[in-house]
Amino acid sequence: MIVANHTSMTDIMLMLAIIKNPFVFVGKKELVKIPLFGFFYKRTCILVDRNSSKSKNEVFKRAQDRLNQGLSICIFPEGGVPDDESILLDEFKDGAFRLAIEHQIPIVPIVFADNKQRFSYTFLSGSPGKMRGKILPFVETSGITLDHRKELRDQIRQLIYNGLLEFQKKDLKK
């Protein structure tokens, strides 16, 4: 299970560039409407209608099928990009952690430091420069039960948050 902070459309492309093992995204169904991007997106993602509890439950079955095929699953647990660009890291939803616990698969947290500054969702800001990502040590879920999914969610969120702060500290030293 791969999880990362979500700040920009470039997160998807950067994820594809840095992860060498085959994986599929779990992503919102609305994105299939984007011309050209949507064509490829719907063929490479497990789609979820976030307004449908039935759709959310079907994600778990489709994820199991993909795991059985030897693929990893990638989820942005914030559930989308925050409208407020001042938010460093939004709250995480439980789905990724429930999936990791149910299948007893490790979680690989990833921090994207610069994507929002390079190519924001509002298109009103952005600048040329590096887009840095950091793959953090994986977190084992073996033996963890669903009763502890909130603690796991909070642990992973804190790791990613600390990673973002670490990048900010490095930038201030420059």
> Which residue, 149, 153, 30, 117, is CA-closest to 45?
30
Q: What pLDDT does residue 120 have?
A: 66
Q: Hunting for tokens 């459309």 — which residue is that? A: 9
- Distance between CA 75 and CA 2 in Å, rounded? 6
Q: What pLDDT does residue 23 have?
A: 94
**Domain 2-173: assigned CATH number:** 3.40.1130.10
149: Cβ–Cβ under 8 A, 6 or more apart, which residues?
94, 97, 98, 101
Q: What pLDDT does residue 148 have?
A: 97
List per-block mean pLDDT (blocks of 10 residues) for the chain, which spans 174 residues.
Answer: 87 86 91 87 87 86 92 91 78 94 96 76 68 92 97 98 92 74
